[in-house]
Amino acid sequence: MSGSRAVAVADRVFRGAATLAVAATHTLHHGWAEERAPDSPEPGRNGTSVRIDEVVAAVFRAPRSYTREDVVELSCHGGRLPAARVLEALVRAGARLAGPGEFSLRASSADASTSPKPRRWPT
C-alpha cells in the first residue's frame, strides 16, 4: 500500500510486537494479519480477532520509497487463498485496489515534481 494512510490501514490488520506506526523506515516486522471478529469493535487491540496468516510487514517512509509516499508491503504465504484473504482484510480496513500502472504513475509523478532538472530519455 502507498499513501498517507498506508501505515494506519496496515495497522488495522497487522499484529506484531509493536504497531507499524512506530516503525522506522526500511524495516521488516514479523507478525500476523488479523481481522476483527464479527462481535468485536477493533481487531486484536480491544477485542477478539481472527488470524488470517503469518506475515512480514515492510515499512518504507516518505520520501524514501518508490512512490515517495509512505509504503507498507505485507508478505504472506504463497498461494492464492492467503494472499486473497489478506488483501480482502486490507480493503475492509480502508485500502483500495490500485489501478493498472498506478504505482509507476505515482512514482514518476513524485519524481518529476521533486527532480531539480528534467529527465532526458536515451535515444
- Return per-residue pLDDT of the chain as tens, 123 residues: 999 999 999 999 999 999 999 999 999 999 999 997 666 555 555 567 899 999 999 999 999 998 899 999 999 998 899 999 999 999 999 999 988 888 788 788 876 555 555 555 565
CATH of domain 6-96: 3.30.1360.120
Residue 54 has a pLDDT of 97
Output the pTM of the full model: 0.79
3-state secondary structure string across the chain? CECCCHHHHHHCCEEECCCHHHCCCCEEEEEEEEEECCCCCCCCCCCCEEEEEEEEEEEECCCCCCCCCCEEEEECCCCHHHHHHHHHHHHHCCCCCCCCCHHHHHHHHHHHHHCCCCCCCCC
Q: Which residue ranges make up each domain of the chain? A: 6-96
